[in-house]
A = this chain, B = another copy of it.
């Protein structure tokens, strides 16, 4: 068994089209293959305001699978440490023996989460969506925007954060990194009003977006809520949406935005049903679409395998594989 540090992993894995396609494929597996994906295991550490979540999935026919630990310790910032962390263990599917420990400190979770956002937007939002609204100013606010640029012709960003200085840092960083103009909004409402696609990336415990702000053609990806006490969308948003897609329905009902939903317009779909071509989220430019992501074990297994292959030079070469590729087309 080998141990890889975050530094080693960072050298070889980044958010790029190859990774987005790997995560797209993982969602397809969920509906086209036999997958063992047990419910998330959560270990609470109430004394230190922390929790560890464990996710895993075995996909039929694959020679390895991952067990992922991700931690959220909310007193960490006062100790000068990041709130979230984690690691993945890759196991041999035939023997159960550990192949590698990816001590990534949560980096791979961040990347596979952002990649899922790109997949959600690629299958739900209008093809000509170019204005991105980002709610929140943390790591996912950055990565989700970057991921969007691979699947939609984003040309303007509208960000809202509670702390102005963090929004300003976000603007400066993103303008520099992505070469896109970023406008700081003074409210969530304003960001929604300006945008074709809105991504919510917060740990909010109460709704941030309301039904009366919905407008034709809007797509919202809500990726912040992943626990019983979190919520980013008012139930009215879900009730007004023409289509709702989740990564995993039963998980969204327990930990995501579906918890608050009552009368929906149509049956909720799973992302794998879209990526596999079995269903379609959007049938016109006027429809309002919502995609709720809570995070799944298949994404972890997919990125752990992708990383392991790259570390062992079994996959495509990092530099070659996507240097000249920016916007990509997913699916059909």
Residues in chain A within 8 A of chain B (CB atoms): 1, 3, 34, 36, 38-39, 41-48, 50-52, 54, 56-58, 60-61, 65, 67, 69, 71-73, 75-76, 79, 81, 85, 87, 89, 91, 93-98, 101, 103
Contacts and interface: CB of A to CB of B under 8 A. Distances in A.
Given A67-B54, A69-B67, A87-B98, A93 B47 contact: yes
Copies of this protein chain in the complex? 2
A331 B224 CA distance: 49
A153 B270 CA distance: 62
B58 A44 contact: yes
Given A89-B69, A103-B1, A96 B45 contact: yes
B41 A36 contact: no
- Please classify the interface of chain A as helix (H, G, I), strand (E, B), loop, or mixed, using the class held by over half of its residues: strand
The 8 closest A-B pairs by CB, nearest first: A71-B96, A41-B41, A73-B96, A3-B3, A36-B44, A43-B56, A48-B94, A45-B58
B89 A87 contact: yes
12 contacts: A45-B58, A45-B65, A48-B93, A54-B56, A69-B91, A81-B95, A81-B97, A85-B96, A85-B98, A87-B89, A89-B89, A101-B101
Nearest to A37: B43
Nearest to A63: B48
Given A67-B69, A72-B96, A101-B101, 9 more contacts: A3-B3, A36-B44, A38-B41, A50-B94, A50-B96, A76-B96, A81-B95, A81-B97, A87-B89
